[in-house]
Structure 1
Amino acid sequence: MDTTTLIEKLDSEKDYSRRELYEYLCENVNGFSYNSFNWQMQKMLANGEVYRSGRNTYRIGRTYKRDYSPQYSEQSEIIIDFMEKFFPDTEYSIFETTMLNEFLNHQIAKNTIFLYVEKELSEFVFRDTESMSKRTVLYKPRKDDLRRYWKADSVIVLDRISEAPRGKAHKYDTPLEKVFVDMLSDQSLMYMFSKSEYPEALRIAYEKYHLDNNKMFRYARRRGKLPEIQSAMAEGGIEIDNT
């Protein structure tokens, strides 16, 4: 009996750890190795035969992808209200690092808000945000600046790149197509997570949500990161069907 048929016999309402799935297959397949298991898991995850139900837990059966809809903290809501009141016609987007936790193994405990503002106005927004906010506000910080001044709940203001993907529900939403390119492009954001987790994080995002390859590739090309994105997709077993 092949591994897919065996997996389908498991309870689709129960959570299984990776170890439990491996031991189950070992009991039913002669000479089944851990390398074979890793390869089979990657295949089943890519095909939707197995999906992640939580941290290091899996369920059997196909899951339905959904559109990504970010949920904002109270601090972000204050910044959004501020931007809508004082910079209503400005192109901007907002993102919080704790939003990455559903994709990362090592969780981000200390949140940071990234405010991307069109280049011509980003410095003005920074000055006004700094005056308005009770939190640390940094403008295009370098690594040394982050080491010295960054604190939990800091706000980082960066230039918004032209051709950056826009949110669907709200203009200030940051879609995943932008998030995953920025994760390879912005030094400030790269400071907040381990790059070694990137391919797996990208794969989890593709399993849970609808991502537009054309939109992401166009932005990645604009930022000079297309080869890195495609390499990470290949490493994560993600099919590249749009170029």
Structure 2
Amino acid sequence: MHSSDEHFLATVEAQLHNWFGNQPVLSRKELLARVATLNPTLKQATFDVYLHRLTQRNQLIHAGRGVYALPDGALVADFTPLVPPELTSLWRAVATELFLRSGCVWTTQWLNDFTTHQLMRTMQLVEVEPEALQSTFYALKDRLGARVFLQPDARVLELYVAETPDAVLVLPLVSRAPVQHVADTPVPRLEKLLVDLLSDPTVFAAYQGEELRTIYRTAARQYRIDGRTLFSYARRRGKAPALRELLLAVGLSSLLPA
């Protein structure tokens, strides 16, 4: 590499922390835009050489496909929540009885890792295919009694769910929702949780406004988020424009589709 290139690369290295700011990751497109402010005539082939050199020198690290992070930034991991034994037992019993083909279970207790305010009263959610909603509701009601609610509306949520410790909500599972298995239990991927909070402000009323923005920022700092999975699910929920607006508002433009 010529001395002029070395000098330019040193200038880029000096700017990296400023360019990242509070963002945990930047996409290749975003990095190119920032480097181009130093050299508007920069060719993409030359930029790719610079990018390769920066990763070789450990000035940047790969944080996903086409996404980069600073090596001294917070390390992100995959979201693998601790599944309470009772949640696993509940799913296994119902899935076996009803021969459920797909679904997932989770608890809003997991959201306390991302929020400013810790909610003491949490909910458990059981999501199944729409045709299995009624049978799942009655099967759970036989086991858990009045704790179980089927697709509660705003009134039921306010008058009954909010006053019920460990309430269990039975909700429809959106087709091709991003689900993973933890402790042999189907649970949502982080991308699903984030989009669900945005998509259903009635059920998740306690996690809206600034709290929702905090959840997104904190989740991105702590865990790996796949932007394509995020937007694919958001489109199925009709929330892609709202998701784009939210990501821009919280400084997570690196998650936007290329």
TM-score (norm 1): 0.72
Worse-superposed segment, 117-126 or 165-174: 165-174
Question: Is the contact between residue 201 and residue 208 of structure 2 (CA under 8 Å) also seen in structure 1?
Answer: no
Give the whole-Å Cα distance in 1 for the aligned partners of 2:147 and 2:201.
18
Instruction: Give the Cα separation in 1 of the matches to 2:122 and 2:152.
Output: 16
> Any runs of at least 4 consecutive aligned residues in structure 1 with deviations exceeding 6 A, and if so which?
none
Kindly indicate whether the alpha-carbon contact (under 8 Å) linking 2:121 and 2:166 is maintained by their aligned counterparts in 1.
yes
User: Which of residues 211, 222, 230 in structure 1 aligns to 2:225?
Assistant: 211
Q: Counterpart of 1:75?
A: 86
Give the deviation of 1:98 after TM superposition: 1.1
Q: Where do 5+ consecutive residues of structure 2 fail to align?
A: 1-13, 27-71
Q: 1:135 to 1:70 in 2, by over 3 A?
A: farther
Instruction: Give the Cα–Cα distance (whole angstroms) in 1 for the partners of residues 257 and 187 of structure 2.
Output: 24
**CA RMSD in angstroms, aligned pairs only:** 2.7
Cα distance change, pair 149–182 in 1 and its aligned pair in 2 (3 A): same
Q: Is the 8 A contact 1:141 1:188 kept in 2?
A: no
Q: Distance in 2 between matches of 1:77 and 1:99?
A: 15
Asked if 1:114 corresponds to 2:114, the answer is no
Higher relative contact order (CA 8 A, sep 6+): 2
**Contact 2:247–2:256 (CA under 8 A) maintained in structure 1:** no
Mapped to 1, the partners of 2:216 and 2:159 lie a distance apart of 30
SS at match of 1:192: helix
CA shift in 2, pair 1:142/1:86, >3 Å: same
Q: Which residue in the other structure is 1:183 paired with?
A: 197
1:159 and 2:137 matched: no
- Provide the secondary structure at the position in 2 that maps to 1:133: helix
TM-fit CA distance, 1:72: 2.1
- Where does residue 75 of structure 2 map in the other structure? 64
In 2 relative to 1, CA 153–63 (structure 1 residues): closer, same or farther, beyond 3 Å?
A: same
Match of 1:31 in 2: none
Supply the distance in 2 between the matched residues of 1:119 and 1:43 (Cα, whole angstroms): 44
For 1:184 and 1:73, how far apart are their aligned partners in 2?
Answer: 25
Cα distance in 1 between the residues matched to 2:143 and 2:221: 39
User: Could you tell me which amino acid in structure 2 is paired with residue 163 of structure 1?
Assistant: R
Q: Which amino acid aligns with 2:215?
A: A
CA deviation after TM superposition for structure 1 residue 109, in Å: 0.8
Residue matched to 1:93: 104
Q: Note if 1:240 corresponds to 2:251.
A: no
**In structure 1, C-alpha distance between the alignment counterparts of 2:101 and 2:202, rounded to whole Å:** 22
Partner Cα distance (2:203, 2:190) in 1:
14
Structure whose alpha-carbon radius of gyration is higher: 2
The one-letter code of the counterpart of 1:83 is V
CA distance in 2, matches of 1:171, 1:188: 26
Deviation digits for residues 130-166 of structure 1 (CA, Å, limit 9, x no counterpart): 1111451000000101122111200000111112112
Other-structure match for 2:154:
143
- Asked if 2 retains the 8 angstrom alpha-carbon contact of 1:135 and 1:153, the reply is no
Corresponding residue pairs, total: 197
**Residue 162 of structure 1 aligns to which amino acid in structure 2?**
S
Secondary structure of the corresponding residue to residue 24 of structure 2: helix
Q: Distance in 1 between matches of 2:248 and 2:196?
A: 19
Stretch moving more, 168-177 or 215-224:
168-177
Show CA shifts across 1:94-128 (max 9, x none). Answer: 11111101111011111100111100111110011
How many Å apart are 1:86 and its aligned residue? 1.3
The Cα offsets for residues 25-65 of structure 1, whole Å up to 9 and x where unpaired, read as: xxxxxxxxxxxxxxx8x8235359xxxxxxxxxxxx42211
Retained in 2: the 8 A contact 1:143–1:187?
A: no
| Pair 1:153–1:197, CA change in 2 (3 A) | same
* Residue 128 (structure 1) aligned with residue 128 (structure 2): no
Greater per-residue helix proportion: 2
